[in-house]
Amino acid sequence: MSTTEHLGDLLRELAPQVLGVLLRRYGGFEECEDAVQEALLAAATQWPAEGVPENPRAWLVTVASRRLVDQIRSEQARRRREVTAAVRGAPDAVLAPAPGGAGPGDQDDTLALLFLCCHPALTPASQVALTLRAVGGLTTAEVARAFLVPEATMAPRISRAKQRIRTAGASFAMPPPQERAELLDAVLHVLYLIFNEGYTASSGPDLHRGDLTAEAIRLTRMVHRSLPDDGEVAGLLALMLLTDARRAARTGPDGALVPLAEQDRDRWDASMIEEGAALVTDAMSASPLGPYQLQAAIAALHVQAPRAEDTDWEQIRILYGILARIAPNPMVTLNHAVAVAMTRGPRAGLELLQSLDDDPRIARHHRLHAVRAHLQELAGEYAAARENYRLAARRTTSLPEQRYLRDRAGRLERQRLRSKDEGRKDEGRKDRSATVVDEGAGSGSGEHHGDGPRGDAGVDRLPADDRAVVQRRGDGPDDVGGVGAGG
């Protein structure tokens, strides 16, 4: 890791702390956030040349405060009086906390900031963008790059999000405990979206963008440090670790998708698996059960099997059954159907899938077709499987998944031609059955991001509710495997 990257890490770590100090002192999210960005930019240009100051956090606070004051001085007189008074009133001690270390309030600050950035008045896309910038310390250009849009598209989105927060009258303060649970749900959802966008890019040529998954894990760790006893926070962190642990094995040398069952398990990250499994085990024994913990437990079962055929599908089926009860949504049903197929046979799985045909949330979704194709293949209904693989391929917007699904259809086609030649019908299927399932595609669908549940204007299409999204990309996919090929 170069010094520059090191510096970047330091700055991103400090960003929410500095913003927290400014907000507590001056208020005004929009202005404070801009001032912190300017201070971060100043540090990024000055520190490499002049060296990192002894107390980088105090340096940033001082510079950001000055920018803020400058900015506000040029505005209205009334505002000016308030702020300069506040600046005068700020004892210098606040500017120089314990060298290097984080002050006592920093973790709460980070959490309060996350609550603000994930404000329900914002669309999911705006929540994500704002979180990455204000809490993650990414520049607008970096956020734009992560989502493959021009900076000119991202900049107004971020500034509009900040205006909305102001209009909604939200302030930087820890919400009362009774409101926290719901707000925390929103925060976890946003972190999950960031992770998923990184893990399975919703469109485009590459399957994942590692910088976003790393950022999501880093932010979730921060939340976990603030709320070590929250089982769902721990569950989400575990889920991310257990999913990301497989990243290196998920794509072949040519960038093509490798189904979970065919992945080289030696390439999985053992330390991430260990950490994730420990987290979810602790969480489940100490806290009320929640959807993230359940999904993490399922992910743990997948990665702890020494070989694909050792996978404990019976356990997985039971866990999906519980998940379907406490957080039902079509993606859960989809994954549940795969687990049922693996334990009770493909026909039983296909039967469960029928319940989704009339569900507008998923009836046209490529994952449904992919899972059905997969189960039909297992059941020996090759012609139908081929058609459904093709249909799924046409409907996904992820190129690697398209390739995977077309390939699957192509194999069946070749098999058909060959067996015609040889007058055999069944050729070569047995050894593949394990393979097929579980694809790892991780993801679900292209839509998730954005198509999210909590849109603005009553956009409630994938009622999916947050969890759906989670499923869509989470481990869900794994089970669903290749099937998923999701997006």
Partner 1 sequence: MKFMLIMHGNPQIWDALTEEERDEVMSGHGPFMETVKKSGEMISTTALADPSQSAVVRVRGGVPAVTDGPYLEAKEYLGGYYLVECDSRERALELAALIPDAGVEGLGIEVRPVLYTGTADD
Quote the CA–CA distance of 335 and 339 in Å, as a whole number.
6
Q: Cβ distance 362 to 368 under 8 Å?
A: yes
Window of 113-121, 198-206, 236-244, 464-472 that interacts with partner 1 by CB under 8 A? 198-206
Which residue, 3 or 153, has its beta carbon nearer to partner 1? 153
Cα 53 to the chain's mean position, in Å? 34
DSSP 8-state secondary structure symbol assigned to residue 434? H
Which residue, 123 or 263, has its beta carbon nearer to partner 1? 123
Contact characters 132-161, partner 1, x per CB under 8 A = ---------------xxxx-xxxxxxx-x-
* CA distance readout (Å), 464 to 209, 365, 460, 467, 470: 25, 13, 8, 6, 9
Could you say whether residue 125 binds partner 1 (CB under 8 A)? Answer: yes
**Least separation, in Å, of the C-beta of 310 and partner 1?**
37
- The torsion of the CA quartet 344, 320, 274, 367, rounded to 10 degrees, works out to 90
* CA distance readout (Å), 388 to 406, 412, 433, 483: 10, 11, 17, 11
**Least separation, in Å, of the C-beta of 48 and partner 1?**
23
**Least separation, in Å, of the C-beta of 367 and partner 1?**
15
**Least separation, in Å, of the C-beta of 160 and partner 1?**
6
Could you say whether residue 320 binds partner 1 (CB under 8 A)? Answer: no
**Least separation, in Å, of the C-beta of 154 and partner 1?**
7
Could you say whether residue 256 binds partner 1 (CB under 8 A)? Answer: no
**Least separation, in Å, of the C-beta of 28 and partner 1?**
21
Q: Which of 20, 56, 124, 136 binds partner 1 (CB under 8 A)?
A: 124
**Least separation, in Å, of the C-beta of 157 and partner 1?**
3
3-state secondary structure of 251: strand
Q: Cβ distance 398 to 486 under 8 Å?
A: yes
**Least separation, in Å, of the C-beta of 430 and partner 1?**
35
251 DSSP β-pair partners: 257
How many alpha carbons fall within 13 Å on the CB side of residue 157? 23
Could you say whether residue 210 binds partner 1 (CB under 8 A)? Answer: no
Quote the CA–CA distance of 393 and 373 in Å, as a whole number.
11
Which residue, 110 or 202, has its beta carbon nearer to partner 1? 202
Which residue, 129 or 300, has its beta carbon nearer to partner 1? 129
Q: Which of 37, 65, 107, 123 binds partner 1 (CB under 8 A)?
A: 123
Which residue, 48 or 156, has its beta carbon nearer to partner 1? 156
Closest C-alpha to 453, from 474, 471, 467: 467
Q: Is 306 exposed, middle or buried (0-12, 13-18, 19+ CB in 10 A)?
A: exposed
**Least separation, in Å, of the C-beta of 205 and partner 1?**
6
Could you say whether residue 202 binds partner 1 (CB under 8 A)? Answer: yes
**Least separation, in Å, of the C-beta of 319 and partner 1?**
30
Task: Give how many residues touch partner 1 by CB under 8 A.
Answer: 33
Could you say whether residue 459 binds partner 1 (CB under 8 A)? Answer: yes
Count of Cβ atoms closer than 10 Å to residue 289 Cβ: 17
Cα 14 to the chain's mean position, in Å? 22
Window of 38-46, 247-255, 330-338, 441-449 that interacts with partner 1 by CB under 8 A? 441-449
Per-position DSSP letters for 185-241, written without gaps between them: HHHHHHHHHHHHHHHS-SSBS-S--HHHHHHHHHHHHHHHHH-TT-HHHHHHHHHHH
Q: Which of 397, 419, 433, 435 binds partner 1 (CB under 8 A)?
A: 397
Which residue, 268 or 404, has its beta carbon nearer to partner 1? 404
Which residue, 158 or 470, has its beta carbon nearer to partner 1? 158
- The interface with partner 1 within residues 460-479 (CB under 8 A) comprises 461
Place of tokens 């329900």: 120
Quote the CA–CA distance of 371 and 342 in Å, as a whole number.
12
Could you say whether residue 203 binds partner 1 (CB under 8 A)? Answer: yes
Cα 378 to the chain's mean position, in Å? 31
**Least separation, in Å, of the C-beta of 191 and partner 1?**
18
204 DSSP β-pair partners: 398
Q: Which residues contact 61 (CB under 8 A, 6 or more apart)?
A: 18, 21, 22, 94, 95
Could you say whether residue 121 binds partner 1 (CB under 8 A)? Answer: no
Rg, Å, the chain Cα set: 24
Cα 368 to the chain's mean position, in Å? 21
Which residue, 301 or 464, has its beta carbon nearer to partner 1? 464
Which residue, 317 or 449, has its beta carbon nearer to partner 1? 449
Which residue, 90 or 155, has its beta carbon nearer to partner 1? 155
Q: Which of 41, 278, 384, 399 binds partner 1 (CB under 8 A)?
A: 399
Q: Where along the sequence are the contacts to partner 1 (CB under 8 A)? A: 123-125, 147-150, 152-158, 160, 202-205, 397-399, 402, 446-447, 449-452, 455-456, 459, 461
